[in-house]
Chains A and B, each alone.
Chain A
């Protein structure tokens, strides 16, 4: 049953890509939830399954080769995976919308930015007159800090940061309850990244939108999220509040990630990277997926699948040793 506070809850979602070279186990039994109005950060490295998760929620996983094997995506009491394409289209953009990573390629180069925003407004508000649609589109542009005079310009006339603002305007045009932002600022310079993130946070608070923020940048997470989920090889391996994850990380991978970042506030002579590489998603190890790289690994780690263990109401971790450590205390 879906908790009243929970806007989105993903239950045991499993997505595989069935290719000629074998099955890619992109997402394995992932469960997590986003509460109303909160920002959940989803952190992981390239190939961890972050984008597959986001696309899975919106049913945008290309099929073939993608197959949703199992699981539920509960949103406002309905399982999105049980809807047909027409019903799903009504949800996308108006209830849940998505910001993609690359602002350079997600806009249509032969349509003016105004038209692109109008398109969304029109698609979800069939009863609007032409004037109302244009008025709404202009209002959205102004909201993201672009003068409405520029609505007749084309994407190539905008800089990277401005394009990302246009995309945010499109995503928020129908006042969605949930915004999925897939690496929204990765392609931007730091000063522009700061502007865009500040703006997303301000708009989100004003419109009471919940956000799933997907990123590989722990700094972005620390400054913008309420809770964090760490994903590794298609599994959530640790989830908790910002404080839990940054101050009391329990999973060796989470600790490894934090140890890999050069710090600005303290001088470290040497970084402590995680040795090795992420496992091949077509050939995942048995048991803990991180065990081959983990310096604390014991035999039991590879013997069987590891379950999530609750440390407290918010903090959960998928690690045998962390569980024992917590039990001892």
Chain B
């Protein structure tokens, strides 16, 4: 285990005035973004394509280093957190190696196996961690299935099980509901609630799918190169969304005027702070 790092019930993620520019790119991918995620909290980051969502996750995971500002995970630099495997990164399904002949159990155990070098074998303790993680996400009976045969929703569960098994305290989900149907959305909401109850991980979800964000998150940040909004899901007014997604819509249809009234039912005050997160599902698709 990772001595000296608090691992009880998650930890804190901090983005402090972070800016980032890809080498060779003229424009900044992120400008002066500040985010704080409390231990055990679920933060959703919503925004248009090209708005910097994936860049933000890569900074969190420690694969990219900010040009300005500071990122910290559980009080560590992301690079250190990465080596300590504090962040459980869940990639999009399209980016995973699904054609490899490995079972769900093997896929879940990959970070544990990667931590071993030389000629050691994974022992009973490792098997127990994998079993426990599969149980948390509810796919105990799928352990021997080939990973590539899982549907989008089950695959997501396996990837979350991997993060749980590896002992991460922050879970970073990249577009978790891509390829998941409406029923799967409900199960995703249930899954997020179960994670909260049983593991207490700090969760950062990045998605352009508002339903995914609404289902699993306590707070929402809107990201279109800079941070537009940063509060409870109920604060996602049509005006804010129209502003954030304007570039997306313009990219498809050209310059359009967005009529905020059409989405007015999103602003239903009954979806307030006090609701359990799973109940927030469905806002916007009524």
A and B pair up: no
Which residues of B does A touch, CB under 8 Å?
A: none
